[in-house]
Structures are given as C-alpha cells and as structure tokens.
C-alpha cells in the first residue's frame, strides 16, 4: 500500500526495538541480560492500583472531560505548586496518554513548518521525530562528554536563529543519566530571556530520580518572564512505576493547554477514565514507595558506574539522575574485530555483536545523536547488572586489534 510521506519519514523507536528483540530472545529460552529497559522493574504501588480498581468497580467507565477530570488536573497543579514552586491552576494542566503524547500535542500546537527546534544532544529518540512530524527543523547542539553531555549558555546563544521556536531541556536526561545544576539552568534561562520568541519545553519526567549533590529545580520557576514561555512535561510512568498506564501531564499557559485539549479531543479524547482517581492517589497519597525505588536505583547506578570505570577504554559520566548510564565505547571497540572476525566500526555494530556473542542487550547511541556511545539502563536487578557486566568485560577481552 502506498503510505503517506509523513509516515514514511518516521524512524521507529530504537529503544523499543532493542527491548522487543531482547524479550523475543528470552521467549525462545535464550539467556539474555537486557540493559535496554526504559522503565522501572518495580510494580506500581498498591495504593495506586487500588484507587483505579475502586473507580472501575464504582462504574467510572464513561467519557470524561478531554483534558482530565477537574480533580486530576487540580492534583497535578497542586503537586507542581507545592513540590516545585509553580503557580498553576487546573486550567494550566492537561492529562494525556503518557509524557510522549503530551510532547506530541505540544509540538503540534506550537510549531509551524520551517520553525526550528533546538535540541541538545544526546537526546531522547522521540524529540526529533515529533518535531519533524510537526513540520519543524531540528538543530542539534552537542554537549561534550567532558561536561557530562550538557550544553553551555554560549553554545545555546550561538545556535539561536530568527527561526528558533522551541528549546528542549531534559534534565535529568534520557539517555545520559546526568542533570544540569540549578546554576547551569539559570545561565540557560538568561540566554532564553534575551529571545522573546523562544519557548522552552522542559521535560521533567525523571525529576524524582535524582542521586547526586545537585537539587532538582523546575525550569519554569527560574525566571518569571521565561517561566511564562516554559511548557513543563511530567508523567506517572517513571516515578510511580506506571509505564503501562499511559498517564502524562503538560503544565503551561492556559491558551496553549486549551489548544492541546482541542487537538487531543480529535485524537484520543480523555485518557482511560478509571486512571483519573489513580492520578490523585499517586500524587497526594503516601510517597514511601517512590523513595524506596529511588534508593534502589541510586545503589545500582553507582555500582554499574564503578564497574564500567574498570573497563579499559570505556568512558562514562557518573549517573546523577534517571536510570541510565551512557558510556563512550569507541576507544575500546572501534577498529577491532569480534570473535567471528566482524569489524566493529559503530555503536550499532557493537550492539549487534555484543547481543550475538554474549547475549547482552544495550541500545546504540546513533539514534540519540551520540554515535560513540551506548545506553545501559540500570532498571534491573544487581544480579543482572553483575552478570551483564561480566559478559561485557569478557566480550571486550575477546576483541582483536
Ligand atoms: C525523556 C523522556 N520523556 C518522555 C518520555 C515518555 O514517557 P511516557 O512513558 O510517559 O510516555 C520518556 C520515556 O521513556 C522519556 O525518557
């Protein structure tokens, strides 16, 4: 069938592809260690499940207002106000089908063909695709590995053109597992302040998964003027181990939220009705499970980083947020041959060869805009981390010059 140019231009998600391939191999009985997961390996806390189950039992099974129930929208506004110092009302919030759909709607609502999206690289694979689906042109700004892959205010200033419309900030970051300090974000906000047409998309979905010395600050609160031009994204997926529920939020100016709601109304309508009370329970109920998961991730991340640091030629910033490490494997592998004599010349070659020879799944950096790196998720058990890193060490030893 002849497909539209629009869908032909879409690159399928490489992160989902790796996870699916590792799952398929496991289903065939192959002993795969997967570092591909972009989701917590914990279950959703019981109190949240019960809230949804009760709502379902009570018959909350019909259409609801497209941007979310008033109670759910207010719970998100209260959460952002109390935890992060926002000044949001219910009308500043829309609930969408995951953080992914929230971002999609925002790109569609703000980008005209030819508008430029400034994208710090490495970046989450979905941003460039969604920016381009909206007719935008992506301009990458490459953060250096020596600066934990973060961009500097000077780099940002140099990249801004009259067509620049949106700057994407994702801190803590997927894929790098690093985050900007409050001072670094302030310096970026100062540059944004000089360019009144520029809007910031602050993707804060990993805000609760923070392990370093730096405190998380929400970008919209740094400068009142820039705050009015900042759109904040959050979700329940990572913080509350709810990736399959598909609950995401946008917090922004009421006119933008209304436009996104009009668009969502023609796409998906409201998210699943009986998830609405679960949003209220997640955000206002006990938070102990979140802290327990954070502590487990902190230990695993530190352990993984320490072990990677012992592998010759592998360079990796310390993970301070999210649940990823993003080592540069080019010195250790590029230009060498694997046990089958195949040359390793790219992160994609390395990833395929590692899976074939040692049954370890990692995600190649090409689609994140970082072709020397691979992403490993530490949302898996300590035993799997040790087993996978033993295999990675054995693989590196097996390479021939
Ligand atoms: C940086 C980033 N933003 C947004 C999302 C989307 O999250 P959701 O699962 O809620 O759609 C992800 C998911 O991996 C992510 O890593």
Q: What would the pLDDT profile of 249-260 be if each residue is shown by its tens digit?
A: 999 999 999 999
Residue to probe by mutation, ligand 1, list 105, 124, 127, most atoms within 8 Å of CB: 124
> Per-residue pLDDT averaged across 233-245, rounded?
98
pLDDT digits (tens, 9 = 90+) for 307-343: 999 999 999 999 999 999 999 999 999 999 999 999 9
Residue to probe by mutation, ligand 1, list 44, 126, 239, 247, most atoms within 8 Å of CB: 126
Ligand 1 atom nearest residue 235's Cα: 10
> Per-residue pLDDT averaged across 27-40, rounded?
93
Give the residue from 373, 374, 370, 372 showing the smallest Cα distance to 140.
370
Q: How many Å apart are CA 192 and CA 183, to the nearest integer?
A: 14
Give me 165's structure tokens: 């419309």
What is the phi-psi region of residue 240: left when phi exceeds 0, alpha when psi lies from -120 to 50, beta otherwise?
alpha
Q: In what order do the strands lie in the sheet with 248-251?
A: 93-96, 248-251, 230-235, 199-203, 164-170, 116-121, 137-142
pTM of this prediction?
0.96
Ligand 1 atom nearest residue 103's Cα: 4
Q: What distance in angstroms lies between residue 154's CA and the mean position of ligand 1's atoms?
A: 28
Q: What distance in angstroms lies between residue 139's CA and the mean position of ligand 1's atoms?
A: 21
Helix (H) or strand (E) holding 101: helix 98-110
Give me 96's structure tokens: 């969408």
Residue to probe by mutation, ligand 1, list 96, 238, 271, most atoms within 8 Å of CB: 238
pLDDT digits (tens, 9 = 90+) for 353-392: 999 999 999 999 999 999 999 999 999 999 999 999 999 9
pLDDT recorded at residue 18: 76
Only one residue has tokens 């490495």, namely 122
Residue nearest to atom 16 of ligand 1 (CA): 174
Ligand 1 atom nearest residue 246's Cα: 10
What is the phi-psi region of residue 85: left when phi exceeds 0, alpha when psi lies from -120 to 50, beta otherwise?
left
pLDDT digits (tens, 9 = 90+) for 134-179: 999 999 999 988 899 999 999 999 999 999 999 999 999 999 999 9
Q: What distance in angstroms lies between residue 38's CA and the mean position of ligand 1's atoms?
A: 8
Q: What distance in angstroms lies between residue 99's CA and the mean position of ligand 1's atoms?
A: 5
Ligand 1 atom nearest residue 102's Cα: 11
H helix intervals, 3-45: 5-8, 14-27
Q: What distance in angstroms lies between residue 243's CA and the mean position of ligand 1's atoms?
A: 9
Q: What distance in angstroms lies between residue 365's CA and the mean position of ligand 1's atoms?
A: 17
- Whether residue 23 is predicted with pLDDT greater than 90 in this model: the reply is no
CA distances from 225 to 197, 221, 233, 242 (A): 12, 10, 19, 34
Q: What distance in angstroms lies between residue 15's CA and the mean position of ligand 1's atoms?
A: 11
Ligand 1 atom nearest residue 173's Cα: 1
Q: How many Å apart are CA 345 and CA 68, to the nearest integer?
A: 48
Q: What distance in angstroms lies between residue 386's CA and the mean position of ligand 1's atoms?
A: 27
Ligand 1 binding pocket (C-beta < 6 A) is 38, 98-100, 124, 170, 174, 203, 205, 235, 237, 243, 248
Q: What is the DSSP letter of 220?
A: G
Give me 301's structure tokens: 């991340």
pLDDT recorded at residue 9: 87
Q: What distance in angstroms lies between residue 376's CA and the mean position of ligand 1's atoms?
A: 16
């Amino acid at each position: 069938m002849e497909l539209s140019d629009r869908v032909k231009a879409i690159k399928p998600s490489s992160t989902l592809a790796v996870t699916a391939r590792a799952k398929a191999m496991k289903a065939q009985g192959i002993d795969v260690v997967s570092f591909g997961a972009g989701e917590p390996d914990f279950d959703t806390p019981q109190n949240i499940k019960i809230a949804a189950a009760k709502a379902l039992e009570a018959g909350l099974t019909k259409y609801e207002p497209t941007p979310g129930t008033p109670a759910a929208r207010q719970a998100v506004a209260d959460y952002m106000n109390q935890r992060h110092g926002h000044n949001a009302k219910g009308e500043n919030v829309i609930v969408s089908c995951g953080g992914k759909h929230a971002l999609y709607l925002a790109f569609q609502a703000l980008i005209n063909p030819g508008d430029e999206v400034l994208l710090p690289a490495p970046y989450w694979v979905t941003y460039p695709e969604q920016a381009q689906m909206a007719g935008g042109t992506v301009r990458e700004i490459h953060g250096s590995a020596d600066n934990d892959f973060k961009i500097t205010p000077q780099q940002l200033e140099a990249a801004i053109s009259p067509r620049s419309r949106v700057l994407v900030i994702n801190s803590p970051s997927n894929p790098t597992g690093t985050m900007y300090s409050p001072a670094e974000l302030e310096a970026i906000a100062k540059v944004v302040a000089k360019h009144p047409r520029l809007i910031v998309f602050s993707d804060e979905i990993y805000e609760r998964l923070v392990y370093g010395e730096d405190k998380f600050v929400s970008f919209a609160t740094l400068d009142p003027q820039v705050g009015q031009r900042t759109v904040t994204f959050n979700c329940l997926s990572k913080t509350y181990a709810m990736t399959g529920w598909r609950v995401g939020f946008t917090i922004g100016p009421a006119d933008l939220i209304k436009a996104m709601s009009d668009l969502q109304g023609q796409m998906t309508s409201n998210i699943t009705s009986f998830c609405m009370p679960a949003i209220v329970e997640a955000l206002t109920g006990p938070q102990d499970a979140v802290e327990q998961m954070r502590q487990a991730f902190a230990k695993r991340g530190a352990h993984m980083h320490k072990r990677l640091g012992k592998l010759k030629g592998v360079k990796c910033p310390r993970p301070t947020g999210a649940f990823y490490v993003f080592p540069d494997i080019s010195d250790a592998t590029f230009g060498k041959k694997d046990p089958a004599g195949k040359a390793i010349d790219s992160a994609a070659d390395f990833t395929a060869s590692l899976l074939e020879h040692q049954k370890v799944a990692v995600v190649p950096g090409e689609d994140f805009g970082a072709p020397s790196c691979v992403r490993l998720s530490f949302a898996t058990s300590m035993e799997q981390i040790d087993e996978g890193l033993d295999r990675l060490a054995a693989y590196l030893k097996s390479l021939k010059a």
